[in-house]
Structure formats: structure tokens, C-alpha cells
């Protein structure tokens, strides 16, 4: 399956309730053309300017509606999970959709997660420095990194300390094995590697917002991933062949 995706893509401030609305419209079976109209109307009271609204709407539809670079089964599972999810689980689903749709979102989440393993708070300047080292020193990249932080603060994944730094919000408890298996599979859509070990996925620093119950990665129950190598102490998995038809 092709993983060709935009370098940045997630470059706007996006509120959780906007993502909720996009997910609801998809769950209602609305076609893309109608979703575009309804989202434009929905965002009118929140975003001034047609261009800004269009760019934000593009992120919402790329994340929740279109399947370019992301398998349709993955998004269909997200819609089903969203229907019965509580508020915290819905946030986890949006987070997984961001990771699967945008490699940049995954990269920034990994950077933050690694930093939080070393310290309780991360300054904006330190975060930006690590982003530049990892992704590159371009104005569009730095701007998008700032929008990512602002979005995750609004989602309450991060807390602004009021001194140009952030710390993690309260851990989001996840115990639903179907949701957890789906969430873990999201990294395979944006990873530079076609295969990852289960240990790599489970211990990925991108999961810093969550407290995930152990033993809930149910490979046998997933249509999205498959075991490609079983060794002593190591299980390599990849996206399954049936999860390779993106449109």
C-alpha cells in the first residue's frame, strides 16, 4: 500500500468538537460533498475567513472522510468505535486518526513523548528545536508544530503551564481491547518501516497521553494487522494484505 502523504498536512488549529462533528457526519453516512457543505456551515461561527475555514475543513475531511494513504477498513472501524465510545475514547480515536493520516502528527507525538520521559514539562523552544532536528528547519514546519501544540492543549492532552511550556494532561484510561488494537495499528500507516515489532508499537513514545491496559493488543481479532515473523521474544507485524486498498 502506498504511504505517500504530505510532509506536514496537519497545519491548522483543530478543536476536538470539530473532529467530533466530522466523525458524526461520516457515521451518518453523508457523502463527501454534503459533508463539505455542512462542515463549512458548522465552522462559520468559529473561524473567520473562507480560506481559513477551507484549510481547516480539509484537515477534518482528510482525517475522517477520505482514505488517501489510509485503509478504508481502518476508517470504517474508527466510525464503528466512535459510535459507542465515551468522550475519552473518542479523543483517543481522533488521536489515532491523526497519527494514521499524517506522519508529521506521529513525528511530533513521538518527540513530545520522548521529552516527557525525561522531564515533567517541555518548553516551546525545546520542542521546536527537536522538531527542526527531526523534520527540518522550514517556517511551515515550525508554524504547523505550534498549531499541533495548540490543538492538543484544546483537546486537554496537553496543559499549558503559562510560561511557554507544556506538560501532559491527565492520562486517558483505555481498556477496550478493540479500540486499543485499532489505535496501535495506526502507527503502521505512517511509520517509515513496513514492519514493526509488537514491543516497538506498544512502547512507542507517541502514546504518552494514555494509560493503556496491558494485554489488550489482540492481533488475532484485527483485520488490519498480521504477524509476518514470530521469533523468540519478538513478534513482527505489518498491515495485512486485506488492509492495503486505499483510494
Give the pLDDT band (50/70/90) at residue 121.
very high
SS3 227: strand
pLDDT, one tens digit per residue, over 130-139 is 999 988 878 8
C-alpha count within 13 angstroms, C-beta hemisphere, residue 4? 2
Is the model's pTM score more than 0.85?
A: yes
Distance, in Å, from the CA atom of 92 to the CA atom of 100, rounded to the nearest integer, reads: 12
Q: Does the pLDDT value for residue 19 go beyond 80?
A: yes
Q: Dihedral sign, CA of 177, 182, 185, 186? A: negative
- What span, in angstroms and rounded, lies between the C-alpha atoms of 195 and 203? 15
Which domains are delineated in the chain? 104-168 (1.10.10), 172-243 (1.10.10)
Over residues 127-174, the pLDDT tens digits come to 999 999 988 878 888 899 999 999 999 999 999 997 789 999 999 999
Rounded CA separation 225/239 (Å) = 4
Cell of 130: 527537536
Per-residue pLDDT tens digits for 34-59: 999 999 999 999 999 999 999 999 99
Length of the chain as a residue count: 247
pLDDT category of residue 68 using cuts at 50, 70 and 90: low
Beta bridge partners of 167: 159
Amino acid at each position: 500500500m502506498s504511504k505517500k502523504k504530505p510532509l506536514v498536512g496537519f497545519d491548522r488549529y483543530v478543536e476536538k468538537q470539530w473532529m467530533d462533528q466530522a466523525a458524526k457526519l461520516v457515521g451518518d453516512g453523508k457523502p463527501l460533498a454534503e459533508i463539505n457543505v455542512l462542515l463549512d456551515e458548522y465552522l462559520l461561527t468559529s473561524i473567520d475567513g473562507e480560506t481559513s475555514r477551507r484549510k481547516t475543513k480539509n484537515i477534518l475531511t482528510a482525517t475522517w472522510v477520505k482514505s488517501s494513504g489510509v485503509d478504508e477498513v481502518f476508517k470504517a472501524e474508527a466510525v464503528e468505535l466512535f459510535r459507542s465510545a465515551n468522550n475519552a475514547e473518542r479523543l483517543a480515536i481522533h488521536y489515532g486518526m491523526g497519527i494514521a493520516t499524517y506522519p508529521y502528527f506521529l513525528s511530533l507525538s513521538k518527540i513530545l513523548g520522548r521529552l516527557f520521559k525525561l522531564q515533567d514539562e517541555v518548553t516551546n523552544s525545546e520542542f521546536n528545536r527537536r522538531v527542526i532536528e527531526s523534520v527540518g528547519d522550514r517556517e511551515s514546519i515550525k508554524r504547523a508544530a505550534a498549531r499541533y501544540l495548540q490543538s492538543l492543549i484544546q483537546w486537554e492532552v496537553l496543559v499549558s503551564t503559562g510560561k511557554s511550556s507544556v506538560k501532559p494532561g491527565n492520562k486517558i484510561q483505555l481498556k477496550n481491547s478493540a479500540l486499543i488494537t485499532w489505535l496501535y495499528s495506526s502507527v503502521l500507516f505512517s511509520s517509515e518501516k513496513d514492519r514493526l515489532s509488537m514491543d516497538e508499537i506498544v512502547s512507542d513514545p507517541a502514546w504518552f497521553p494514555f494509560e493503556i491496559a496491558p494485554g489488550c493488543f489482540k492481533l488475532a481479532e484485527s483485520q488490519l494487522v498480521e504477524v509476518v515473523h514470530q521469533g523468540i521474544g519478538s513478534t513482527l507485524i505489518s498491515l495485512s494484505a486485506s488492509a492495503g486498498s486505499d483510494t
